[in-house]
Amino acid sequence: MNPVRVEDFLDISYRADLDVLVARWLRPVELAELQAGYEQMLAAAQVGAGRRWLIDVRRRFNTHQVGAQWMVTNLLPRLEPMLGGRSRLAYLLAPVYLRDAAADSAFPPESYFEGKPFIGNRFVEENAAIDWLRADIVE
C-alpha cells in the first residue's frame, strides 16, 4: 500500500514488515474529518493492510464524544465482516491524555471488548503498542 494523505489532517501507511496499518492524525479534527479519516483507514485495510491498526492521536489533541459513539455504533461493527477477522486498534496518546477525564470517558472500558470481533487499547509508547498489536501472531 502506498502512503495516503487524507487532506491535511491524516497520514495512512502500511508497515509490511510488521503487518500494521499506521494512521497518524496531524491536527485536531472536526467530526466529519474524523469520520472521513476512519473511513479511509477502513478502505486502506481492505486493500490489504489488515486488521492491526496503530492510530497515533498525539497531535490531534481532542477527544470526540460524538465521534467515539459513531465508532462504536457504526465503524467498529463493520470491521469483522469487511476485514475477515478480529481487529486490533492500538491508540498512541500523549501521556497527559491518559489522565484526561473526557478522554477516559470516550474510550470504552476493557470489559466492553469482551466477546467482540475487535479490541482496542491505549499506549504512550509506540513499541509497546506494536508489541500488543502483534501479540496474537504465532511465529
The answer to whether residue 100 scores a pLDDT higher than 60 is no
CA distances from 55 to 42, 47, 114, 123 (A): 12, 18, 21, 10
Q: Which amino acid is at 125?
A: E
pLDDT reported for residue 118: 92
d(CA 21, CA 41): 8
Residue corresponding to grid cell 491518559: 98
pLDDT in tens, 40-63: 999 999 987 689 999 999 888 666
Q: Which of 123, 105, 12, 114 is nearest to 65 (CA)?
A: 105
The answer to whether residue 64 scores a pLDDT higher than 60 is yes
The answer to whether residue 13 scores a pLDDT higher than 90 is yes
137, three cell numbers = 501472531
d(CA 36, CA 48): 19
- Classify residue 8 as exposed, middle or buried by CB count within 10 Å of its CB (0-12, 13-18, 19+): exposed
